[in-house]
Structure 1
Amino acid sequence: MNIKDISTRAGAGIIYILVILLGLLGGRFSFLAVFGAILGSGLFEFYRMVEKDTSHAISKVFNILSGVIIFISVFLYLEGIHTYLLPVFILGYLLILIASAIFLRRHDVLHGIIYSVFGQVYITMPLSLLMFISYSPNVGGNEYDWLPVLALFVFLWVNDTAAYFIGSLIGKHKLIKHISPKKSIEGFIAGILFTMLASLIFARLYPGFSVPFWMGLAIVVCLFGTLGDLFESLIKRTCNVKDAGDLIPGHGGILDRIDSLLGAVPAVFLYLILFLFF
């Protein structure tokens, strides 16, 4: 990688981080706008990627709009504005898919339905859970709080950065070679260690939560963030594409930037429930 490529990658990465911080620190409406846009872009990349060699039995536009509507309904639910819209939209989406299987005269309609539902589970559900996390510490209250989501992103960025640089410098043992040849065991361990250090900083800055809480959160983010990264690599290998998209210069698409987030969010949500209520 030459200097120009490194500069492009670094510049795009900084812009991405600033957009994420704007979404988090700008308040709940800023969160809704930024992550709603990320959701729509991620769904578009996913459906385009998995269906690139087939005709579309289920409309991509329908799936993308459905995911965004579900995401907005989660916001309305958490704000206490409309508590019934969320289950109504989810059930309506599923009923439309079932009806399409009956009325569409396509031999591959079931494959389209599987792709459709999996895209929502893979992308819409984690980003919706991210919004639930932003309403912590009650995990489902009605007050927006950017701290737990900021910690989640910082831990992901520290883990990814440390794993990349340490792995590039001293990485000799492949983590899972058949899925991601560039990831090393050394980088994986370095990511965990540096993220643990970051968790101690958060524990010092925000003593409302204990040191074990922050350290446990860091470990969960590292483990499941890495799984999310590997899973997206598996999807790309299966679909025979290098990147999910080209929206972010030097990084690929939105999915290439949020792959670890998609794996970490469900695990973090479960961790918060277990830690705060048991």
Structure 2
Amino acid sequence: MKLRAITGFFFIIVMLGSLLLGNYVFAAFYLLLSCLALWEFYGLVKKAGIKPDLPTGLLNGIAIFVLFALLNIPAATGYRRLVFLLPITLSAVFIQELLKKHKTPFTNIGYTYLGLMFAIVPFTFFHALAYLGGTFNFHFPMAFLLMLWANDTGAYLVGSKLGKTKLFERHSPKKTWEGLMGGILITALAAYGINLYFADLSLMQWIWMGVIISCFGTTGDLIESMFKRSIDVKDSGSILPGHGGLLDRFDGLLIAAPIVYAYLYFVTNT
């Protein structure tokens, strides 16, 4: 427990620091995290006998993150046409499988692409949160992280004390409806605190953002648990002592980040 707390504390400091140190550090840090998460995903599915194309998958992961990051940066308008290189790099996943002699080529292709959707795309949307206003602003990604952590904390505290009604026992026996409600409540309180310092949204809009994070962050957690159970592993990795792997640490972000981005995009562009 002590090791978990120490690791969590330093990791939180690094994550928040990456936001405060400017757009280049922010982009580089989350590009690194997304690539490590993809590496972790491919390593897990290999344990199940599947053979995703690791080099081509990583190349495409970097291309997706970087090229869509350039779309968000006003000063990078000259590089935006490079996004049309993606059909070429993505087609390489199919072409390389033609040259191999695997018995299940489309299973390998499918999991190569699934890794990109599961590990790269969510971080791409999370990075884009900082550019919703047109220029770099750390408020939205920081608020996202604070509310995601508030949800995890609230769900754990309330669920461990009052949890009786199982939420989705087949995939996560410890999660309860009481814990989910506790997570939503604590996240709403965090949204109230954020509203005192960040005037980007109204109080109700911050609260709705928190509710989305709670609901879909929990969904992401359940989906990652389903994935691990399907390949019979306890943790996605061991890169974070006491916490497991990066997919374990960011499971709440996987589904929530794209949906929160969509919500905020329409809120901030009305």
What TM bracket, shorter-length normalisation?
over 0.9
Counterpart in the other structure of 1:182: 174
Counterpart in the other structure of 1:65: 59
Residue 167 (structure 1) aligned with residue 159 (structure 2): yes
Q: Take 1:87 and 1:25, find their aligned partners in 2: how far apart are those partners?
A: 31
Give the aligned CA root-mean-square deviation in angstroms.
1.4
Q: Relative to structure 2, which stretch is displaced further, 165-174 or 93-102?
A: 93-102
Residue 23 (structure 1) aligned with residue 15 (structure 2): no
Q: Take 2:101 and 2:200, find their aligned partners in 1: how far apart are those partners?
A: 58
Counterpart in the other structure of 2:46: 51
Q: Percent sequence identity over matched residues?
A: 33
Partner of 2:47, secondary structure, is coil
Counterpart in the other structure of 1:107: 103
Partner of 2:25, secondary structure, is helix
Q: Which amino acid aligns with 2:218?
A: T
Residues 134 and 148, structure 1, Cα contact 8 Å, conserved in 2: yes
Q: Which amino acid aligns with 1:104?
A: K
Residues 74 and 86, structure 1, Cα contact 8 Å, conserved in 2: yes
What pairs with 1:1-278 in structure 2 (closer than 5 Å)? 6-54=1-49, 56=51, 58-79=52-73, 80=76, 81-88=78-85, 90-137=86-133, 141=134, 143-278=135-270
Residues 166 and 187, structure 1, Cα contact 8 Å, conserved in 2: yes
Q: How many residues align?
A: 267
TM-score, normalization by structure 2: 0.94
Cα distance per residue 1:75-124 (max 9 Å; x no partner): 22322241022231x21222112223433332211111000111111111
| CA 132–55 in structure 1, closer or farther in 2 if over 3 Å, else same | closer
Q: Which amino acid aligns with 1:274?
A: F
Q: Take 1:275 and 1:76, find their aligned partners in 2: how far apart are those partners?
A: 23
| CA 260–208 in structure 1, closer or farther in 2 if over 3 Å, else same | closer
Displacement of 1:55 after TM fit?
A: 5.6
Q: Which amino acid aligns with 1:95?
A: S
Counterpart in the other structure of 1:3: none
Q: Which amino acid aligns with 2:82?
A: L
- Structure 1 unaligned runs (5+)? 1-5
Displacement of 1:65 after TM fit?
A: 2.9
Q: Which amino acid aligns with 1:44?
A: W
Q: Take 1:232 and 1:165, find their aligned partners in 2: how far apart are those partners?
A: 21
Q: Take 1:255 and 1:232, find their aligned partners in 2: how far apart are those partners?
A: 7
Q: Which amino acid aligns with 1:105?
A: K
Q: Take 2:36 and 2:97, find their aligned partners in 1: how far apart are those partners?
A: 26
Residues 156 and 260, structure 1, Cα contact 8 Å, conserved in 2: yes
Q: Take 2:198 and 2:227, find their aligned partners in 1: how far apart are those partners?
A: 38
Cα distance per residue 1:11-64 (max 9 Å; x no partner): 0111110111121111111112211111111001101111213262x4313212
- Structure 2 unaligned runs (5+)? none
